[in-house]
């Protein structure tokens, strides 16, 4: 068999593996290592043979790296969801990228293998927010607004068990609650909702408190590295440290023709070096902090007297402690009050798993939501009420 035929066979099998196989670049690399090795055996000239041997070694090394990152990937392969959550619950939203369907009751069951992780309902109101407890219009003169991702939204817990809902109950209906959190959101959705008037369109009362729940993953999300958020709002950081809205993340992909690299993005090595799972960079952190600061500034401009505070998730003992500390110090330097969840939940630093839904799902349990709601009521909202009088 000639070298040309071997190469043609390799190209054909590579295309097929990319289209139809999981982790295609692992199998493609192994395939090419074998084909190049066979080519080296066929080749009679010593120098050419050495070239093909070295080429095969390089490809095999890349394949091993691809396989390593595939095995290290934190996705749970046997994780599955059932219910209306998987049908028409998520809808396109031109401002935020995506959002929940309005006036919708999403049933959701999550299992990992045969283990049931949760079985609950996500009730979405007519404004596209997760339902809040009733309030008394006669006494509810100011609102409390929440921003964040799935932690704020309350993934895996019932409507009445989310931290925003429990806070409203604890305050006995004196404050209307607005939960703008949603699965996979980051601070860029918060800023877009504020700047583009979505918050003012929905919130009927003057806010007295805005709380943003921050997690370390929000840094990557605000930089456009979330695979599920391709149409999310894209912000750019200028030389002065300010941010401006520059369309959507997928606008850039279309301009640069990056949509054609979708197959390459199935490579775990590519994602680790250049894509969704690459290491956090200083530019990502500066952009993230500037977005949160811009959201705070917009809140203070639109709602004079309103407090803007952050609940920061993260364990100071985690390997990613440098990112945690950079976020903490950056927010404090911007005069944004920060409350570490590790200080709110007793024993969180030593055993954070006691506050998680399951060993297979680190989202906070209903108990964690309740403890944080207690803290917000007694340490944040009470102070905010005093400050605005």
Determine the pLDDT at residue 385.
59
Residues paired with 206 in a beta bridge:
142
What is the phi/psi pair of residue 339, to 5°? -120, 115
CATH topology of domain 79-387: Rossmann fold (3.40.50)
Determine the pLDDT at residue 37.
74
Exposed e or buried b for every residue in 128-166, given b needs 16+ CB within 10 A?
Answer: bbbbbbebeeeebebbbbbbbbbbbbbbbbebebbbbbb
Q: What pTM, to 2 d.p., does this model score?
A: 0.82
Run means of pLDDT, 10 residues per run, the chain, 389 residues: 59 58 68 73 78 81 73 65 96 97 97 93 98 88 95 98 97 94 98 97 95 96 91 94 94 57 62 65 94 98 95 84 93 97 95 95 97 96 62
35-57 pLDDT, tens digit per residue, is: 777 777 777 787 877 887 888 78
Determine the pLDDT at residue 18.
58
88-142 pLDDT, tens digit per residue, is: 999 999 999 999 999 999 999 999 988 999 999 999 999 999 999 999 888 888 9
Determine the pLDDT at residue 76.
47
Determine the pLDDT at residue 366.
98
């Amino acid at each position: 068999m000639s070298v040309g035929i071997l190469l043609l066979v390799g190209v054909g099998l590579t295309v097929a593996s990319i289209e139809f196989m999981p982790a295609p670049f692992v199998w493609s690399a192994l395939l090419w290592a074998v084909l190049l090795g066979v080519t080296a055996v066929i080749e009679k000239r010593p120098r050419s043979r050495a070239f093909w041997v070295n080429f095969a070694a390089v490809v095999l090394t890349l394949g091993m790296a691809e396989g390593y990152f595939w095995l290290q990937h934190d996705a749970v392969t046997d994780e599955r969801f059932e219910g209306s959550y998987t049908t028409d619950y998520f809808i396109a939203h031109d401002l935020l990228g995506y959002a929940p369907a309005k006036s919708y009751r999403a049933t959701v069951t999550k299992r990992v293998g045969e283990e049931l992780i949760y079985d609950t309902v996500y009730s979405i109101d007519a404004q596209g927010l997760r339902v809040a407890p009733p309030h008394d219009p006669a006494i509810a003169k100011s609102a409390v607004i929440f921003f964040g991702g799935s932690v704020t939204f309350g993934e895996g817990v019932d409507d009445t068990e989310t931290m925003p809902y429990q806070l409203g109950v604890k305050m006995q209906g004196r404050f209307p609650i607005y939960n703008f959190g949603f699965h996979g959101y980051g601070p860029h959705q918060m800023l877009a909702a504020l700047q583009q008037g979505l918050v003012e369109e929905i919130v009927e009362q003057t806010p007295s408190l805005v709380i943003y729940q921050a997690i370390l993953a929000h840094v990557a999300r605000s930089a456009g590295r979330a695979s599920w958020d391709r149409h999310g709002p894209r912000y750019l950081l200028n030389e002065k440290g300010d941010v401006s809205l520059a369309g959507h993340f997928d606008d850039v992909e279309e301009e640069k023709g990056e949509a054609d690299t979708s197959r390459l993005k199935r490579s775990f090595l590519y994602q680790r070096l250049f894509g969704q799972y690459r290491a956090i960079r200083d530019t990502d952190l500066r952009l993230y902090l500037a977005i949160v600061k811009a959201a705070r500034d917009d809140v203070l401009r639109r709602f004079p007297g309103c407090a803007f505070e952050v609940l920061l998730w993260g364990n100071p003992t985690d390997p990613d402690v440098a990112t945690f500390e950079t976020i903490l110090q950056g927010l404090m330097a911007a005069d944004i009050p920060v409350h570490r969840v590790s200080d709110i939940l007793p024993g969180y630093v030593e055993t954070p798993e006691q506050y998680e839904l399951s060993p297979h799902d680190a989202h906070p349990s209903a108990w964690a939501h309740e403890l944080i709601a207690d803290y917000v009521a007694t340490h944040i909202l009470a102070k905010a009420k005093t400050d605005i009088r």
